[in-house]
Amino acid sequence: MKKPNLFPLSKIVLLLIVGISWNCTSPKTEETQSEEKENIQFKVNIKEVAIKDQKAKVFQLSNGNGMEVELLSFGGIISKLKVPDKDGNVENIALGYENPADYDTNQYFLGASVGRYANRIAKGKFELDGESYQLATNNGANHLHGGPMGFNRKFFDAEYIEGDHSMKVKMTYVSPDGEEGYPGNLETTITFELTHDNKLLIEYTAETDKPTIVNLTHHGYFNLSGMQEDVLNHELTLSADRYTPVDQSLIPTGELAPVSGTPFDFREPQTIGARIADVPGGYDHNYVVKDKADGELTKMATLYHPASGRHMELYSDAPGVQFYSGNFLDGKLTTDGHTYSKHMGMCLEPQHFPNSPNEPSFPSPRLDPGEKYRHRIQYHFGVK
């Protein structure tokens, strides 16, 4: 009797291996990609609140992974920022006001987008092409964060945009020629983006019709403990070997000084409170991350709160970052039962150096017609 022509076992095994390999490397189908998107449970709630007899939009974004962000179209403000701790407890880690209407005063610049020029300009004066400009002064004799009516007190047009793996809010504002003393009409866009993997991305862009200066940033106060304690036990790392010393009015002297051997050295993790007593008034200084704005994202800082396990990394393409230890918080504001006393929050503000328009050796904040200003900031949140 003739034996059946059986398929060799070795070939069967080979075909199974080839089949498994092909399935592992095959591209994702549209159906698979759609299923992945469905697993990302984005939620958005948009409402309106009254501020200064006008309506501002409030965007409440949740990425389904424990992170929530609340944004105001007034001031380009991040009013709440909730992230989980190592045990999965979600708490707000950003200082803000309980009533949105109170952001009209916002003397601390809580959570605000600040501009046209973040930080200080000495006596509010600068020159461009031989012409002198006098800006509004609101910090003693100096100009601070765009003046008394800076971007933190402006109404932005705003819209929500949802992508496959992130949620975006785009805000726009046109600052007219001469506002707060600045030359040129400045068309500004801020894009906030919350990703599914707990990153908050901010991009500022601006264009002008006259030579001007621009320095936009986010002035958020962070407290990774969820305001359960002040920030003095937070561990901070700063990727900078130089800083800009300041005079008594917090205007840089023009020197780029080494941090080595000083209480300003955070190149290795240090608690904020370890040497703060050696810094008169506390930390409110610009750190030199690079010599110019080169458009490349750089890891500037890491903030860690051991008790909660919360961990934040800061990236930006700006040349400097201002580290401010909440020295002027005075206990006059209480939000959600938490009193904002001295050092209850701290700021990390990526930026051009303070008073750059008056220091030729500092990276230039000049913007000319036909050019596009762009500043990217990224906050990456996690636990360890």
Catalytic choice (219, 234, 352, 375): 219
Would you call 349 a catalytic residue per the annotation?
A: yes
Name the average pLDDT for the chain.
91
How many angstroms separate the CA atoms of 198 and 40, rounded? 12
Q: Are the C-beta atoms of residues 77 and 191 closer than 8 Å to each other?
A: no
Q: Would 1 be classed as within a structural domain?
A: no
- 29 belongs to a structural domain: no
Q: What is the CA radius of gyration of the chain?
A: 25
List Cβ neighbours of 150 (8 Å cut-off, separation of 6 or more): 114, 115, 116, 180
Contact 350, 321 (CB under 8 A): yes
* 5 part of a folded domain: no
- Is residue 236 in a domain? yes
| Tens digits of residue pLDDT in 291-332 | 998 999 999 999 999 999 999 999 999 999 999 999 999 999
Q: Which among 91, 21, 159 is positioned nearest to 335, based on CA atoms?
A: 91
* Residue whose pair of structure tokens reads 């989980």 in the numeric block: 84
* Structural domain span for residue 276: 39-383
Q: In angstroms, rounded to a whole number, what is the distance separating the alpha carbons of residues 21 and 379?
A: 38
3-state secondary structure of 123: helix
Specify whether 219 is catalytic.
yes
Choose the catalytic residue: 343, 349, 352, 359. Answer: 349
CA-CA distance, 61 to 66, in Å (whole number)?
A: 11
CA distance 265 to 321: 14
CATH classification of the domain holding 334: 2.70.98.10
Instruction: Please tell me whether the peptide bond between 116 and the residue prior to it is cis, using omega within 30 degrees of 0.
Output: yes
Residue 276 falls inside a structural domain: yes
4 in a domain, yes or no? no
Q: What is the pLDDT of residue 39?
A: 67
Asked whether residue 299 is domain-assigned, the answer is: yes
pLDDT average, residue stretch 26-49: 66
Give the pLDDT confidence of 63-81 residue by residue, as tens digits.
999 999 999 999 999 999 9
Rounded to whole angstroms, how far apart are CA atoms 117 and 142? 12
At 34, which helix (H) or strand (E)? helix 30-39
- Residue 20 maps to a domain: no
Number of domains in the chain: 1
